[in-house]
Structures are given as structure tokens and as C-alpha cells.
Structure 1
Amino acid sequence: MTPPLRIGIWALVHGNRAALQDPLEPYDASWRRNRALVLEAESLGYDCVLVAQHTMNPHKVELGQLEAWTATAALAAETRRIELIAAIKPMLYHPVVLAKMALQIEEISGGRFAINLVNAWNRKEIEDAGLVFREHDERYAYGAEWLAVVDRLMRGEAVQHQGRYFQVKDYILRPASPGRPRPRIYVGGESAPARDLVAAQADVWFINGQPLEDVRALIADVRARPRRGEPVRFGLSAFVIARETEAEAQAEYRRLLDLARQDTEIKAYVKANTDPAVAMRKTQAKFESVGTNGGTSGGTVGSYDQVAARIAQFHAAGIDTLLTQFQPFEPEMRRFAAQVMPRLAALRVG
């Protein structure tokens, strides 16, 4: 049985999610905006927030970029209920350092913290820092060993580890997680090595937005893989455009699509710095959509009733965490809370 549906948002760590040149949403990736956004999301009833990690802006280095872990620590002290999910690229942090940071935020938040492991697609971000950008499958081997060390450290275990990438001797971290074994672990990525990693070590698998039948197939594939412990749970990214009528929603979709087409230089820059082996890029290339991480590809454009019905279908397929994107973000986030959330409740989703 699928757990109740949780609705989350993407923090605006690098500004707009659909198009950078939108007169209705001037570019702003500041701490001040993100703080206000997350506090309002919590008050509106959203359950979680994903704070993606980039050290430099992935679209244009001159643009502002929120730092994920310092911001999440601050949000942990400011919020009271919402789950805080900070993304992490293993190549940027030693597992001992990262596990200590994670446990500190876990303590600050009172047990509401989670990590989202992503094995990186932006070659420039890694190589320009003088670090080794490993090839796709090796990144997952590195990430699996990294996560194994982090997992044990977050559990408060005394860790002895002699591996291919890391050697850790008699390390123990305190304080450990209050009230649960460790912070929750989310994993992103859809390649075969990513799915192996999910089945072996993740609590929740984040899937990029895509059609319902494709999501069902991905869930079935991971459920069929060897697994110890509790079953994997599933999350989905979705850019939502909901209006009173389908025609109004489609008009807004076309507005954003036209604006997104103006970002040609930015898209070329992103493509040039992206590892072509990354499954997310291959998935996105199949569909015309707006938004990141699959955007509207899952069919979340339509009337309030249509959008609620589509989300209910994803929930029935096994998705229990929906990470929403909007543009302009704040008013559309409020619209979703006011119009779609009650319809989901009426459908007994959640």
C-alpha cells in the first residue's frame, strides 16, 4: 500500500525554474527570498523542501546561487515542521565531514533533515575546482562507497573502513540522530547503476518528471531489484501549471515555453558542461516541457481537477512524495495550495 502523499517544493537555489527572462518573476536566488519561500510553504501545508546543491550557478556563472548546506542549516533553525532535504555531490565533500554536517543539521531541526545524493552532471563545476570528474559508472561506484561510510557515521557507529576511495579509522560522531536511526536518504538518477544504488542504500528514489507509464515502469524495475530492509519509497518532480480551465493552463504553458526558448545561450552552456551519459538529460530530450528535472513532462498542466486527478494517478502508481515547481513561484505555490490540495484531499490522496 502506498503511504500518504507528501507535497514538497524545490527551493529557488538558482532562481527561476522554467525561464530566466520572465517579467512576472525577476531573477532572485537570494537567501532572503528562499527563507521567505520555505517559511510560507510550511505555513501553507507543504511537507518538504529540496535544496539542490550547486557551488557555481549551472546556467550562467554571473548569476546568484544559494549555497545548499549553510542555507539548510539556517532553515532548520527557522522552521518547525517541514522536512529539509539538502542535495549533496559526493565528490565535493569527504564523507566524514559531510556526515558531521548532516548530524548537526539533524540536531538543529529536531529530526527533520534528509540528504539527497546526486552523482553530479556538471563537469565544469568539478573540474574547475581542480577535482577529478570521474566517468558516469565510476561516479556511482564512488558514490556507493561514500554513502556507505556516511550512512554508518550518521547512525553513530564507530567506523573502520578500508575501501577503494576512502580509508576511515576509528571514527565516531556525536551527537547522533535524535529519535531515529539516522536522517532519511534520498537518491536521484535513473541509469542502471543509479537504480542499483537506490535498491541497495536509498530510503526514497527521486524520479524526474515523465509520463505516467514510464514512471510505473521505473518503479517496477527498482521494486524487482534485490533489497534488504524496508521497501524503497518513490518521489517525483513536477512543474505544475493549474488553472480554472484547461485552456487557461495551456495558455500559461505556451507563455512559459516561449520565454524558455529565449534562453538559447544558457541551454547551450548547460549542454556543453553536461556529461552526455547522464540519464536525466536523455529523458528530458524526449519531451518538450518547461521546468527542470522533467518539468511538465508528467502531464501536470491543466484545470485544477485535471491536475489533481493526474497527481492521484501518480500516487496510485507508487509516488508518495511530489516535489513541485512553479513560475512565478510564490503566487503559483499559493494557488496550488488553495485549489489543488483540497481536491487531492477530496480524492483521499494524502
Structure 2
Amino acid sequence: MTAHPLRFGVWAPVHGSRAARHDPDEPHDASWARNRALVLEAEALGYDSVLVAQHTVNPYDESRDQLEAWTASAALAAVTRRIEIIAAIKPGLIHPVVLAKMALQIEHVSEGRFGLNLVNAWNRAEFEQAGLPFPAHDERYAYGREWIALVERLLRGERVSFEGRHFRVEDYQLRPAGTYRARPSIYVGGESEPARALVADHGDVWFINGQPLDAVTGLIADLESRPAARGRLRYGLSAFVIARETDAEAEDEFARLLELSRRDEKLRAETRARTDAASVMFAKTDAAAAYHVGTNGGTAAGLVGSYGRVADGIRAFHAVGIALFMLQFQPFEAEMRRFAERVFPRVRA
């Protein structure tokens, strides 16, 4: 497998805290002002990417604020200069022609720094309460496959005529396209069999949820065994990081966040009630919620400990194929700085 350069990204705090929602060190703030400042600081610190998750309503507490992903990503593209902007997209919310045009515009504003992250949705309420269809898991992936096949061709500036099960497009072409590269990058999330087949055929990067090294190794091996993906795909990993001078200090902070997160159990139960039971991500993370913090696997990736231990863990994941680490912290700004100051030098030497 080709060894890709090591890259680090951050999850934008689009719905506030990632670990615990009652943390006195991080009051709830999902505002544009906070996200703008955080991403500008991440860029200055040397982070390579930011992932802006897409939700129309806060998925954990609907009474709290929620940043809109695509308008925010366009704005971030205009105020940043180097960092990659990755916006998540749920195909069922936006027609492929409209989405492709939006993506090309952000690609143009950013001068070739945009990527879209295809996720096939897990929050039933987000769709059903808006009167939108929310098909069964595998049917959503069939829809997403037809959707991304159209989007990819439109992103390349091709003139497209297509008639399928879900979409009909006649003699459609979008401009500007190809100004900075062939098309924006396509990231794909999800670990079910339909998700793996989809990323093998259409993705540039597979986002894997936080989990131990041996599990990640097996997932990458499975994708690399598929002819469509072999040697072409890059791999990213979500992880919540707690790094300190000593393992003991890191474990103390982990225990603090874990105790705070237990106060969110009612909110987690409400989220589970709105979640598609076939979602592989939630099947895994739900089982681990009692002893991990963070979303999308969080601390299950094991990046909790001394600076040296966390750096060793990153090097081990990189050795099996992880090129991009998409990181979460709490309190976000302070821990993001700590990681850049103390861990970057250990892994970027």
C-alpha cells in the first residue's frame, strides 16, 4: 500500500461539545463566530482539514443551536487560505444537480480546497418530520449510489444525460469546472457492506469511525482486497484525543469527561430512538458509550495518554494506512492547541 503523507483535521463544533454537554470548561456554542475563529486558528496551527457535519436540527438536543454545513463551508472557503474544507452531505436532502453546482462553487471560492463527505443518514426524525422519505438502510445506499454517480460526472464538467430509478437528467453541464483540478475530493463514511461497495467504486477517501488498531487494520484490508479500491483509496480515521504529560493525567481527564457524559444519558436515549437501527456506526458506538466519549467512535481509537503514547498510536495507525486523522477535543480550542504544540512535533519530525 502506498504510504500517504500524515495529515490532521478537526471536526467543526457544528452542534457544540463532542464529549459532554454539561462541561463547565466548554459552554455550548455552535455559532458561526465560534466556528470561524476555531477554523482560522486550526489553519494557523498547521491542521490540514476541517470536517463540517451536516444536520438541519441539532441531532442530540433539538433545543440547541446547529450550524448549517454548506453555507458555513462556503463562508469558510472565503476566509481561509490553506486548510481543506470538507462538507458532509446527505443525498436525500438535496438534488444531485443542485448539490454539484454548490460544490463546484465552493471549490472555486477555495481555489481547489474543497471536499464533500457522502453520508447516507441515520437520523430518521430529520427526514420524517420534514415530510421527506427515509427509506430502509440498503435502499438509502442504492439511492446514494445513483446520486453520487451523477454528482461525480457533473463535478468533472461532463455533459450529462441520465435516466435511472431515482433521477432523470437531460443534457446538463455545469461551469466553472476543472479550474484547479479534475474535481473536488469525495469522502465517504459508513462501514456496512453497501457503504464499502460505494466507497470502493466512487470514493477518494474512506472515513472510518474511531476504533482499535486491529479493527481498523481489518477494515482497510477488506477495502484493499476489492479491485475497484486497491491502491487507489486513501483512509481517514475519526478520533477523540486526550493527551497530557503523563498517562495518569490523561486518564484523570478522561474520567472527568466520562463522568460528565453520563449526565447526557437521557439525550443519548432520545437520539437512539430517532436512529436507524441498521446503522453500523451506532451499533458500534452505542455498545461502547459507557466507557468512551466523543462522537463517531471517539476515544475508542485509543488516543488517550501521554504525548509520546498518543504519538505512538498515531504512527501505528499511519503504518496500516490511515493518512488523515479527523480529531475531536474538549474543551476544543485549548486541547487543539495542546495537540499542535505537543504532538505535532513528535509525529511530523
Q: Do residues 333 (structure 1) and 340 (structure 2) align?
A: no
After TM superposition, list the pairs within 5 Å mapping 1:124-273 onto structure 2: 124-227=125-228, 231-273=232-274
8 Å CA contact 2:211–2:297 kept in 1: the answer is yes
The answer to whether the Cα contact below 8 Å between 1:107 and 1:177 also exists between their aligned partners in 2 is no
In the alignment, the residues of structure 2 paired with residue 16 and residue 44 of structure 1 have an alpha-carbon distance, to the nearest angstrom, of: 21
Q: How does 1:87-98 map to 2 (within 5 A)?
A: 87-98=88-99
Correspondence list, 1:293-312, <5 A: 293-312=296-315
* CA distances 1:294-334 after superposition (whole Å, capped 9, x unpaired): 00001100000000000000000100000000000000000
TM-score, with length taken from structure 2:
0.98
The residue aligned with 2:42 is: 41
2:274 alignment partner AA? N
Instruction: Output the CA distance in 2 between the equivalents of 1:221 and 1:282.
Output: 20
Cα distance, 1:60 vs structure 2: 1.2
TM-score if structure 1 supplies the norm length? 0.98
- How many Å separate the matches in 2 of 1:321 and 1:169? 37
Cα distance in 1 for residues equivalent to 2:189 and 2:24: 32
Structure 1, unmatched stretches of 5+, are: none
- 2:17 counterpart residue number: 16
Q: CA deviation at 1:286?
A: 3.9
Aligned counterparts of 1:27 and 1:235: Cα–Cα separation in 2:
27
Residue 5 (1) aligns with residue 6 (2): yes
Residues 199-223 of structure 1: CA distance to partner in whole angstroms, max 9, x if unpaired?
0100000000000000000000011
1:63-84 deviation digits (Å, cap 9, x = unpaired):
0000000000000000000000
Structure-2 separation of matches of 1:110 and 1:54: 26
CA RMSD of aligned residues (A): 0.9
Matches within 5 A, 1:280-291: 280-287=281-288, 288-291=291-294
Q: Identity, % of aligned pairs?
A: 64
Name stretches of at least 5 consecutive residues in structure 2 with no aligned partner.
none
Q: Is the 8 A contact 2:13 2:30 kept in 1?
A: yes
Instruction: Write the deviation string for residues 46-92 of structure 1: whole angstroms up to 9, x where unpaired.
Output: 00000000001101111000000000000000000000000000000
Partner SS, residue 225 of structure 1: coil
